Amino acid sequence: MGLKKSPSYRDYWSSFPEFRDAYISSLMPVKRFSWLLSNIHLNDNAIIPKKGEAGYDKLYKLRPLLTALSQNFERCMNPTREVSIHESMIKYKGRSSLKQYLPKKPIKRGYKVWILANKNGYCQKFQIYTGKSEDTEKSLGARVVKYLLNGMEDKHHIVYFDNFFNSVQLLEDLKAKNLHACGTVNPNRKLLPNFTSDKALKRGESQILTSNTNFGSYKMA
């Protein structure tokens, strides 16, 4: 059903041959599928924590499945030396408090997912973004990176990410855990070196600055 789309799931059992799917309709009656669709649950709704209570989780109903997927992704393949962290989008246009709008993404509306991937594109670990916490979160990018890299300390992986995540403080924290990192960075981040202004650099010129703690910064006009 994920590959062959129909306006309604009942069309797969339709009496009209143009809509009916012989394979799907042979597996079970439509009434059986409707019952399963309405009654299967992944978590116990009777003990779901309410908003404001300890353990409140916007993804509570899906949490067992998400946990199992994440554990299996990590178990099935060891990470390569080079890994990357980025944000991905799952397309969704319906009504949901978790839906995000990212105008610069190919998929502009949907669920945002933080992903740790190896150099072959395999998803090593993921976390679905459920929105800002009640307290203003100023270091969301750093928190995401640390969460996704948890358990990979002291193995000297090289992690790549973009300017949303990157900061000098994050690089220092990763270096203390024997994790190497490289990424673009916003020029307004704290503790960055003083580069030559854009006007003073000719097109194609570059500037490299290093700190006494072995951090390197590269700028190209």
CA 156 – CA 138 distance, rounded (Å): 27
Is residue 162 situated within a structural domain? no
Q: pTM of this prediction?
A: 0.81
Is residue 10 situated within a structural domain? yes
Place of tokens 């700190």: 211
Helix ranges (H only) for 77-176 are 140-148, 168-176
Span 11-62, pLDDT tens digits: 999 999 999 999 999 999 999 999 999 999 999 999 999 988 988 999 999 9
Number of domains present in the structure of the chain? 2
Contact between 139 and 172 under an 8 Å Cβ cutoff? The reply is: no
Is residue 126 situated within a structural domain? no
Is residue 198 situated within a structural domain? yes
Residue 31 phi, psi dihedral angles, 5° rounding: -65, -40
CA–CA distance from 192 to each of 188, 211, 219 (Å)?
8, 10, 12
The whole domain housing 1 covers 1-40
Is residue 27 situated within a structural domain? yes
pLDDT of residue 134: 55
CA–CA distance from 23 to each of 18, 26, 29, 40, 96 (Å)?
14, 5, 12, 22, 32
pLDDT of residue 136: 47
Whether residue 132 has pLDDT greater than 90: no
Contact between 118 and 133 under an 8 Å Cβ cutoff? The reply is: no
CA 86 – CA 155 distance, rounded (Å): 21
Is residue 123 situated within a structural domain? no
Going by pLDDT thresholds of 50, 70 and 90, the confidence category of residue 148 is very high
Is residue 47 situated within a structural domain? no
Span 162-200, pLDDT tens digits: 999 999 999 999 999 999 999 999 888 888 888 888 888
Is residue 21 situated within a structural domain? yes
